[in-house]
Amino acid sequence: MSNDLSISNPHPKIDVFEKLGLALASVGIIILLATWFGYTFENNALFLTVSISSIVLGTVVFSARKYLTQLEGIKNNGVYHSSLSSRGVVGWIIGIVLTSFYIFLYWFPEFLGLGENGNTNRGLIALFDPLSMWFKNQAASQWFVYGTIYTVCIVALGIKFMLKYRHNRYQLIRTTVVIIAQFFLAYFIPEILEGLNQEQAYFTKDLKNFWPLNYYFFDEWHLNNMQQSGSMGMFYLVWGIAGFLIITPVITYYVGKRWYCSWVCGCGGLAETAGDSFRQLSSKKLSAWKLERWMIHSVMVFVFLMTAGVLYGYFAGVSEIFGLSIYDYLRQPYGFLIGSAFSGVIGVGFYPVLGNRVWCRFGCPMAGYMGLFQRFKSRFRITTNGGQCISCGNCSTYCEQGIDVRAYAQKGENIVRASCVGCGVCSAVCPRGVLKLENGSEEGRISSGPIDIKNKTLNL
Amino acid sequence: MSRNIVIIGNGISGVTCARSLRKLDSACKITLISAETKYFYSRTALMYVYMGHMPFENTQPYENWFWEKNRIELVHRFVQKIDTSKKQLHFSDGTALFYDSLVLACGSKSNKFGWPGQDLKGVQGLFNYQDLLAMEENTKGISSAVVVGGGLIGVEMAEMLHSRGIHVSFLVREKDFWGAVLPKEESKMIERHIREYGIDLQMETELKEIKGSEKVNAITTSKEQEIPCSFVGLTVGVSPNIEFLKSSAIPLDRGILINEYFETNVSDVYAIGDCAQFKQALPGRRNLEQVWYTGKEHGETVAHTILGNKKAYAPGNWFNSAKFFDIEYQTYGMVNASLKENEATFYWEHQDGKKSFRIVFDKTTQAVLGFNAFGIRMRHEVCDKWITNKTAVKDVMNKLAAANFDPEFYKYHEKEINNAFQNQLS
């Protein structure tokens, strides 16, 4: 049915300044692609600078021109007429490119140019050598390359998101925090600390990357490296444990899991910025919700079991439980299936096909853990404004977590769902001012409908 | 044997009626008939499909399995005639269907006032799914259009066309935009906003003639201006869709005549929603109620009566909402276009000219009567309580922030609004 409606009129064409911005960003992307396909530049510092700055600048020029020439307001015109955002050819191509990038990144980094066994880096990895040298005086790893590109995407497309939603202060403040959290907490400060403590063995220095999202936190090597790194290591160890035991439940009680998922989390940050064009592609079917509940809680149980096994091994000084290798049967499968295949390849690679929150919705154990608090013990809810809902479906369409928001709103019920990441877009796109994210008393949080607007004789 | 209830029309009224019936009684047989689409969709969302915000499937609030699960039988056919003496419906394909109780929820159709050329290709209204398909077809590759009629559908159509880069001339008969409903200040705000979008808004201008041989190519206005265009949207209101009932025994006026129980003069035949006309309007209400929320209330209330638990229609305080391009509008209680004798008002407008607040109250008792909010969201429950409790306007103004429903971190204007209110008093 909708095919009839997808091809006819093209939307107002992009103008010359927008094209200029796109061309500029393309230059940066072509440099990355060229090195991915094996080309090694003589002057990596120059080309890396050109690549990153043209991606950021090009994106800003394009989106500033696109959005600032329009009046403030919701900018979803043509989302379902665009090949990129409606699973068209462009969407599929980008999905395939992203997916293959992740496959190379996790399992074949030598094809990205990683120099193994003492060899120097080539291609894409070598392109990032100068920046890595500047931070920590060592050649780039595939993870440094990934972290840098990831941060560039969040900054550039985060700015685009802010221009698009410039009328909405919730979105502006939230996205500012997303960009700052990624740039400083996840990237700049950890890399600087690596550079300052080069004699130390590696441990994660991203303050917000809590277990169980960071599933290797309790690995033997990680625990050892933290303990061998003096007071800084001990700080990170204590902070990490307090993170999931105290900080996460307490903040989630007061404001819901959004403080993490759509404000500071790296996965969420990428989804909200780079993934914004794909939020409407999540499935809203009841069957998808059923699948979601099975999957996310299975992964959560898996990470608990895996970690329990790893910790048992660590404290008991053994490598087997019931005669089975802890590494081979728990730790390694989790890292491969969940840590790499699910969160990376499917989670981001499939953005243009399944939507931008596949990992957060179906897989992330941190989201599952916080979801339990949000559903059963939290002050957060999305309030439905009495009887004003007209069942249009914008809220459900643009819910990246696939929540059928309308199903609640049209009954006058508040939305209290484990999976809501509190991005606030349902509230933004609602044409009738029906939805409001808020924290309040637990009493009456899950309401049964607006009795005040019913026919009076029905209330007798 | 369980009761056989047939509903004609699967819009919000008919669907709410069907759902309420099933909630109240698991035994009755429910049949929901529509010639428009098999599955219920939200009419208010048609514009978002055209603008590319949503695929059509997303306008359907229930998944397709919902109807079978709730044993609501869907019939996608056109009812041509109703024989109330035999309690039988006749479809255009020659088939027939018996009923024990019949609910008419057949909605509205777009008005046309006999303009020359109104049946040319490229001239249409916007009410149903077929209109949406037609509009898609009629606006393919065009660059200019005319919309006639300054109501809610008119402004939606202007926004739709504008989203496709089509230049719109917008003819409005009244002096003030949506002037039958909005007070002057609000009308002017909306007019400014429509013009800000580059829409050629022509107030106090009517359509005189639509020109073209097969397809429209121009119109002339009451001011003798000729506007070349490839599309004309006629959005001059809707009226009850009751053509097919004219041969039946059911009494009609502008709509299907009903009492406060939604009963027609023919036993076991009820009418709800847009097509129903109350013989006697409730105080402060119209006898034709053609909005989403009243349709919902009609459907829910009549379900009780049909199942033998007679309930009169007694709606709560009036409310409504709309969106004019980027400006959201909410209203609670009664705010009339011009003040009634006993009424006084306070109006505040933000300096950006895109937000406003109005409160109407009783001059003598000071009791609050209604609110208009533009660009500011207000809490339904709180406003409703104030109106029901006849709270004094001063108390409302002092506690106004309690009714704010804007997203978190938005700038609050209540203090400024209340200061302006206090200044006006002193």
Model confidence over A177-228: pLDDT tens digits? 999 999 999 999 999 999 999 999 999 999 999 999 999 999 999 999 999 9
Tokens of B191: 């007019």
Confidence of residue B164 (pLDDT cuts 50, 70, 90): very high
Number of domains present in the structure of chain B: 3
What's the CA gap between A380 and A254, in Å, rounded? 7
Judgement on whether residues B231 and B252 belong to the same structural domain of the protein: no
Asked if A2 and B55 come within 8 Å (Cβ–Cβ), the reply is yes
Per CB-CB distance under 8 Å, the chain A contacts of B311 are 455, 457-458
For B307-345, write each residue's pLDDT tens digit: 999 999 999 999 999 999 999 999 999 999 999 999 999
Confidence of residue A132 (pLDDT cuts 50, 70, 90): very high
Q: Is the pLDDT of residue B265 over 60?
A: yes
Task: Name residue B180's amino acid.
Answer: A
Per DSSP, the three-state class of B132 is helix
Asked if A452 and B316 come within 8 Å (Cβ–Cβ), the reply is yes
Judgement on whether residues B385 and B340 belong to the same structural domain of the protein: yes
What's the CA gap between A387 and A451, in Å, rounded? 9
pLDDT at B426: 74
**Which of A147, A149, A178 is CA-nearest to residue A162?**
A178
Mean pLDDT of the region B351-366: 97
Task: Name residue A212's amino acid.
Answer: P
Judgement on whether residues B118 and B229 belong to the same structural domain of the protein: yes
Phi-psi region of B87 (alpha: psi -120 to 50; beta: other; left: phi over 0): left
- Which of these three, B184, B201, B236, is where a domain ends? B236
Non-local CB neighbours of B206 within 8 Å, separated by 6+ positions: B148, B171, B173, B221, B222
Q: Is the pLDDT of residue A10 over 50?
A: no
Confidence of residue A451 (pLDDT cuts 50, 70, 90): very low
Asked if B409 and A170 come within 8 Å (Cβ–Cβ), the reply is yes
pLDDT at A7: 38
Judgement on whether residues B94 and B12 belong to the same structural domain of the protein: yes
Strands B144-148 and B226-228: unpaired
Q: If you search the block for the tokens 């206005």, which residue do you land on?
A: B221
Give the percent of chain A with pLDDT over 70: 95
Mean pLDDT of the region B395-409: 97
Angle made by CA atoms A435, B419, B372, in degrees to the nearest 5: 40
Residue B297 forms contact with A (CB below 8 Å): yes
**Chain B 214-273, residues with CB within 8 Å of chain A CB atoms:** none
Per CB-CB distance under 8 Å, the chain B contacts of A5 are 49-50, 55-56, 132, 136
Q: Which residues pair with A439 in a beta bridge?
A: A380
The average confidence (pLDDT) of chain A is 93
Helix H or strand E encompassing B362: strand B356-362
Size of the A and B interface in Cβ pairs below 8 Å: 192
Asked if A393 and B328 come within 8 Å (Cβ–Cβ), the reply is no
Judgement on whether residues B174 and B80 belong to the same structural domain of the protein: no
Per DSSP, the three-state class of B316 is coil
Residues found in chain B: 426
Mean pLDDT of the region A22-29: 98
The answer to whether residue B192 sits within a structural domain is: yes
What's the CA gap between A275 and A267, in Å, rounded? 10
pLDDT at A400: 98
Per CB-CB distance under 8 Å, the chain A contacts of B313 are 455, 457
Residue B301 forms contact with A (CB below 8 Å): yes
For A58-84, write each residue's pLDDT tens digit: 999 999 999 999 999 999 999 999 999
Asked if B316 and A453 come within 8 Å (Cβ–Cβ), the reply is yes
Asked if A169 and B407 come within 8 Å (Cβ–Cβ), the reply is yes
Residue among B133, B314, B385 minimizing CB distance to A455: B314
Residue B68 forms contact with A (CB below 8 Å): no
pLDDT at A169: 98
pLDDT at A454: 61
Residue among B52, B59, B311 minimizing CB distance to A455: B311
What's the CA gap between A62 and A25, in Å, rounded? 9
| A154 alpha-carbon distance from chain centroid | 9
Tokens of B306: 């049909």
**Chain A 403-442, residues with CB within 8 Å of chain B CB atoms:** 406-407, 410, 424, 427-429, 431-433, 436-438
What's the CA gap between A349 and B162, in Å, rounded? 35
**Chain B 4-43, residues with CB within 8 Å of chain A CB atoms:** 12, 42
The answer to whether residue B267 sits within a structural domain is: yes
Per CB-CB distance under 8 Å, the chain A contacts of B190 are none
Q: Which residues pair with B145 in a beta bridge?
A: B168, B231
Phi, psi of A444 (to 5 degrees): 75, 15
Distance from CA of A393 to the nearest CA of B (A): 6
The answer to whether residue B313 sits within a structural domain is: no
Judgement on whether residues B35 and B128 belong to the same structural domain of the protein: no
What's the CA gap between B369 and A444, in Å, rounded? 28
Per DSSP, the three-state class of B322 is strand
Judgement on whether residues B143 and B243 belong to the same structural domain of the protein: no
The answer to whether residue B312 sits within a structural domain is: no
Q: Positive or negative, the Cα torsion across A438, A440, A446, A449?
A: negative
CB A190 within 8 A of CB A203: no
Residue among A4, A386, A393 minimizing CB distance to B42: A393
Strands B327-333 and B319-324: antiparallel
Asked if B380 and A385 come within 8 Å (Cβ–Cβ), the reply is yes
E strand intervals along B129-287: 144-148, 167-171, 200-202, 207-212, 216-221, 226-228, 231-234, 238-240, 256-258, 269-271, 276-278
DSSP annotation of B121: B
Q: Is the pLDDT of residue B266 over 50?
A: yes
For A280-314, write each residue's pLDDT tens digit: 999 999 999 999 999 999 999 999 999 999 999 99
Q: Is the pLDDT of residue A455 over 90?
A: no
Angle made by CA atoms A377, A171, A382, in degrees to the nearest 5: 30
pLDDT at A268: 97
What's the CA gap between B11 and B33, in Å, rounded? 10
Mean pLDDT of the region A447-453: 55
**CB burial of residue A39 (10 Å; 0-12, 13-18, 19+):** middle
DSSP annotation of B39: S
Per CB-CB distance under 8 Å, the chain A contacts of B164 are 9, 11-12
Asked if B312 and A8 come within 8 Å (Cβ–Cβ), the reply is no
CATH code of B225's domain:
3.50.50.60
CB A234 within 8 A of CB A226: yes
CA distances from B177 to A373, B126, B205 (A): 49, 19, 12
- Which of these three, B276, B306, B336, is where a domain ends? B306
pLDDT at A458: 67
Q: Is the pLDDT of residue A8 over 50?
A: no
The answer to whether residue B128 sits within a structural domain is: yes
Give the percent of chain B with pLDDT over 70: 100
Per DSSP, the three-state class of B214 is coil
The answer to whether residue B311 sits within a structural domain is: no
For A258-281, write each residue's pLDDT tens digit: 999 999 999 999 999 999 999 999
Judgement on whether residues B196 and B265 belong to the same structural domain of the protein: no
Asked if B384 and A452 come within 8 Å (Cβ–Cβ), the reply is yes
Q: Which residues of A405-417 are buried (b: 16+ CB within 10 A; e: fewer)?
A: bbbbbbebbbbbb
Non-local CB neighbours of A444 within 8 Å, separated by 6+ positions: none
Residue among A74, A437, A453 minimizing CB distance to B384: A453
DSSP annotation of B268: T
- Which of these three, B306, B332, B356, is where a domain ends? B306
Asked if A393 and B45 come within 8 Å (Cβ–Cβ), the reply is yes
The answer to whether residue B50 sits within a structural domain is: yes
Phi, psi of B358 (to 5 degrees): -135, 140
| B232 alpha-carbon distance from chain centroid | 21
Mean pLDDT of the region B135-139: 98
Domain of residue B172: give its range. Answer: 112-236
Task: Name residue A329's amino acid.
Answer: Y
Distance from CA of B10 to the nearest CA of A (A): 14
Asked if A388 and B319 come within 8 Å (Cβ–Cβ), the reply is yes
Asked if B407 and A397 come within 8 Å (Cβ–Cβ), the reply is no
Tokens of A325: 């290798």
pLDDT at A9: 44
**Chain A 58-117, residues with CB within 8 Å of chain B CB atoms:** 71-74, 76-82, 86
Residue B283 forms contact with A (CB below 8 Å): no
Radius of gyration of chain B measured on its C-alpha atoms = 23
**Which of B394, B262, B238 is CA-nearest to residue B315?**
B262
Judgement on whether residues B415 and B325 belong to the same structural domain of the protein: yes
Asked if A458 and B300 come within 8 Å (Cβ–Cβ), the reply is yes
Judgement on whether residues B103 and B244 belong to the same structural domain of the protein: yes
Q: If you search the block for the tokens 């046309």, which residue do you land on?
A: B112
DSSP annotation of B281: P
Per DSSP, the three-state class of B338 is coil
HEC readout, chain A:
CHHHHCCCCCCCCCCHHHHHHHHHHHHHHHHHHHHHCCCCCCCHHHHHHHHHHHHHHHHHHHHHHHHHCCCCCCCCCCHHHCCCCCCCHHHHHHHHHHHHHHHHHHHCHHHHCCCCCCCCCCHHHHHCHHHHHHHHCCCCCHHHHHHHHHHHHHHHHHHHHHHHCCCCHHHHHHHHHHHHHHHHHHHHHHHHHHHHCCCCCCCCCCCCCCCCCCCCCCCHHHHHHHHCCHHHHHHHHHHHHHHHHHHHHHHHHHHCCHHHHCCCCHHHHHHHHCCHHHHHHCCCCHHHHHHHHHHHHHHHHHHHHHHHHHHHHHHHCCCEECCEEHHHHHHHHHHHHHHHHHHHHHCCCCHHHHCCCHHHHHCCHHHHHHHHHHHHCCCEEEEECCCCCCCCCHHHHCCCCCCCHHHHHCCCCCECCCCCCCCCHHHHHCCCCCEEEEECCCCCCCCCCCHHHCCHHHHC
DSSP annotation of B193: H
Judgement on whether residues B10 and B91 belong to the same structural domain of the protein: yes
CA distances from B368 to A154, A195, B137, B345 (A): 49, 66, 48, 10
Q: What is the largest CA-CA distance in chain B?
A: 73
pLDDT at A65: 96
Judgement on whether residues B324 and B419 belong to the same structural domain of the protein: yes
CATH code of B392's domain:
3.30.390.30
**Which of A198, A196, A201, A194 is CA-nearest to residue A226?**
A201
What's the CA gap between B158 and B148, in Å, rounded? 10
The answer to whether residue B402 sits within a structural domain is: yes
**Chain B 331-350, residues with CB within 8 Å of chain A CB atoms:** none
What's the CA gap between A280 and A273, in Å, rounded? 14
